[in-house]
Structure 1
Amino acid sequence: MRTLILPEPIAAYFAADQQNPEALARCFTPQAVVKDEGHTYAGLEAIKAWMAAASARYSYTTEPFALVKEEGFQVVRGRVSGNFPGSPVDLHYRFRLERGLIASLEIAV
């Protein structure tokens, strides 16, 4: 099996402890935007609140298994397993990077 090599900010995002929104926020630019479950979170404070709410509701792990580059984005497929309805599920994480940080992230099935 081949090891998946992710760009540093994306690897840091997946390595960050879901219980530590501050560590996760350090992966993003100050003006970053996250889209998840039909909601948009703009800026670091909103992103930290999104992560804190997600980790309060569910306990989960993500195992990235594929990476493709498309039109300026890095798209990671990851299997998410945890105590949520429909677990496990494969999600697409569409990252746009700027200056070594995540500028945008869209999460979709």
Structure 2
Amino acid sequence: MNTLSLPEPIAAYFAAEHKPDALARCFTAQAVMKDDGHTHTGVDAIKTFMAEASAKYNATSVPFALEREDGLQVVRAQVTGNFPGSPIDLSYRFRLERGLIASLEITA
């Protein structure tokens, strides 16, 4: 099986998906995250959103593709959890800045 080689902050993000404190350390202080029709700005807002989503959906993400697009790192991942339509493939569009995630947009 081929192992996907992700940039460090992105690998750390997926490794921390059920650990809000570890997840928060992946982002810049003023990071912006867009997911599920909402925008979350700043580490505290992102941490709160991710903790609530983790508790509600208990989702697990398995990245399977990485490409660059317009200066972004775009990861495709299969997400399985307690939500309608599971499993689903989602796109994670990361903009990295100084070794951290500056922005993230998650779309179907």
TM-score, normalized by length of structure 1? 0.96
Identify unmatched segments of 5+ residues in structure 1: none
Measure the CA separation in 2 of the matches of 1:77 and 1:17.
15
Give the RMSD, CA atoms, in angstroms: 0.8
Measure the CA separation in 2 of the matches of 1:108 and 1:17.
17
* Letter matched to residue 9 of structure 1: P
Measure the CA separation in 2 of the matches of 1:100 and 1:82.
29
Please state how far the C-alpha of 1:70 moved relative to its aligned partner. Answer: 0.9
Which secondary structure state, in structure 2, belongs to the residue aligned with residue 87 of structure 1? coil
TM-score, normalized by length of structure 2? 0.97
Q: What is aligned with 1:77?
A: 76
Measure the CA separation in 1 of the matches of 2:47 and 2:56.
14
Identical amino acids, percent of aligned pairs: 70
Which secondary structure state, in structure 1, belongs to the residue aligned with residue 6 of structure 2? coil
For structure 1, which segment, 53-62 or 71-80, has the greater mean C-alpha deviation from structure 2 after superposition? Answer: 53-62
Measure the CA separation in 2 of the matches of 1:45 and 1:26.
10
Measure the CA separation in 2 of the matches of 1:7 and 1:102.
10
Q: What is aligned with 1:34?
A: 33
Please state how far the C-alpha of 1:17 moved relative to its aligned partner. Answer: 4.2
Q: What is aligned with 2:92?
A: 93
Measure the CA separation in 2 of the matches of 1:63 and 1:15.
10
Identify unmatched segments of 5+ residues in structure 2: none
Q: What is aligned with 2:52?
A: 53
Alignment: residue pair count: 108
Please state how far the C-alpha of 1:76 moved relative to its aligned partner. Answer: 0.1
Measure the CA separation in 2 of the matches of 1:106 and 1:60.
17
Please state how far the C-alpha of 1:83 moved relative to its aligned partner. Answer: 1.5
Contact 2:17 2:60 in 1 (8 A): no
